[in-house]
Amino acid sequence: MKKTVVLLAAILVVVLAATISFSGCVQAQKAEETKAAEVIGEAAYDYYEMLREVAKKGEAYPDAPAAGKTLAFTNIMGGIPFCESVWSDVQKQWALAGGAPGDLYYADNQYDATIGLKNADIMLAKSPDVLINFQFDAKVNSIIATKFGQAGIPIIAVDVPTPGAPFMGVNNFYVSYLGGEYAVAAVEAMGGIDMLDAIVLMQFPAGGDILMLRSEGFYQAFVDKYGAEKIDPITYRADGGAGEAEQANKAMTDILSTIPDAQYVAMTSINEQTMSGCIAAIQTAGRWDPEKWFIVTMGCDDVGKQQIRDGLTDGSVAFFPERYGEYLVPAAVALMMGQIVPPFLYVENVVINKDNIDEWYPE
């Protein structure tokens, strides 16, 4: 589509230039992480880091530290490729750690806050040594944190923060900003910002302020390049729901009615399921033209990979869900052993597109 030599050159320019600014949100987050690192020296995480290195190699953990221990895992929604990849890797790593299958408890939160709270109560009754909490509602996570805190059971939060728990997932502002840089480079390759009619952010307000950063970083990359006075009038935000296609489809239909004359559009969303609903809405409205819609998604799960290969999206910031267990299980085992873990367990990220997808995910 827009993958030309000009685009590649523009990407390099934008990436280099954009490193000078990351906004107050990121500065505050970095300050928090720096403060945590100052309070607890890096050497304190040696046990976790040792297990992480073993996990990355796919080897058995020394001395089977999970033997006789119990681990609870609540999945944000079973059946979604991203979530299934996370769960599969947790099972794999649990076995490598010496944990028994029957000592790994599982519940599906079904993208439902009420069910998520009920599942947490069920897990609490089992008294696991550690809970891995993959649940989308930030308010419910506060309740879960209180209940498990009273029981003395440590929690590891996945993607959505849980008060007092180590956070494992992505730096939401960073990945969104990375996607925004990529989109800015494409806009430059097309002729500049004056060609762009709209920027659409399909967001997830119920996930709390942290998850809102997963789209706001995209916006900030444009602001840093062109200025708020140029970007604000063409930016449109919508609630695309908790990551499923249906609500996103409706939200996108509403957006399209708001921008009836827009042709060249840059867009992002919190995940590929959301983007599936958005693209379907655009196609139904008869406004789909892959040469004029520049779309960057988040996650690069199986749906995202197919979207790239089908030419529906221009790129995805990969979260590598198939590697989440390499962070989660070492952290859980470390907590079981009375060791401490870093407060932020961020995965590495890269933009996957049609040009490099086979390097990362060969067919």
Residue 211: per-residue pLDDT: 85
Nearest Cα to Cα of residue 266 among 317, 218, 216, 211: 218
Residue 291 has pLDDT above 80, yes or no: yes
Residue 76 has pLDDT above 70, yes or no: yes
Residue 4: per-residue pLDDT: 42
Quick one: tokens of 42?
A: 């890096």
Q: Containing H/E element for 203? A: strand 198-203
Q: Containing H/E element for 24? A: helix 23-39
- Measured over the CA atoms of residue 185, residue 190, residue 193 and residue 196, the dihedral's sign is negative
Percent of the chain at pLDDT > 70 equals 88
CA–CA gap between residue 308 and residue 289 (Å, rounded): 15
Residue 311: per-residue pLDDT: 97
Residue 126 has pLDDT above 90, yes or no: yes
Residue 82: per-residue pLDDT: 92
Residue 331 neighbours by CB distance under 10 Å? 26
Q: Which range is least confidently modeled, 77-91, 92-106, 322-336?
A: 77-91
| 321 within 8 A of 89, measured Cβ to Cβ | yes
Residue 5 has pLDDT above 50, yes or no: no
Gyration radius (Cα) of the chain, Å: 21
Residue 27: per-residue pLDDT: 53
- Give pLDDT tens digits for 211-234: 899 999 999 999 999 999 999 999
pLDDT band for position 2 (cuts 50, 70, 90): very low
Residue 274 has pLDDT above 60, yes or no: yes
Residue 60 has pLDDT above 60, yes or no: yes
3-state DSSP assignment of residue 163: coil
Nearest Cα to Cα of residue 99 among 66, 143, 135, 136: 66
3-state DSSP assignment of residue 107: strand
Q: What average pLDDT does the chain have? A: 90
3-state DSSP assignment of residue 300: coil
pLDDT band for position 58 (cuts 50, 70, 90): very high
Residue 50 neighbours by CB distance under 10 Å? 15
Rounded average pLDDT over 12-17: 42
Residue 323: per-residue pLDDT: 97
Rounded average pLDDT over 81-108: 98
CA–CA gap between residue 148 and residue 312 (Å, rounded): 43
Quick one: tokens of 153?
A: 């059971």
Q: Which CATH class is domain 5-27+172-318?
A: alpha beta
| 116 within 8 A of 137, measured Cβ to Cβ | yes
| 186 within 8 A of 148, measured Cβ to Cβ | no
Residue 199: per-residue pLDDT: 98
Rounded average pLDDT over 131-137: 94
pLDDT greater at residue 120 or residue 205: 120
Residue 291 neighbours by CB distance under 10 Å? 10
Q: Topology of domain 40-170+322-349, per CATH? A: Rossmann fold (3.40.50)
| 1 within 8 A of 291, measured Cβ to Cβ | yes
CA–CA gap between residue 323 and residue 55 (Å, rounded): 9
CA–CA gap between residue 173 and residue 179 (Å, rounded): 10
CA–CA gap between residue 214 and residue 208 (Å, rounded): 11
Identical fold between 5-27+172-318 and 40-170+322-349:
yes
Residue 34: per-residue pLDDT: 54
Rounded average pLDDT over 134-162: 95
For the chain, domain boundaries:
5-27+172-318, 40-170+322-349
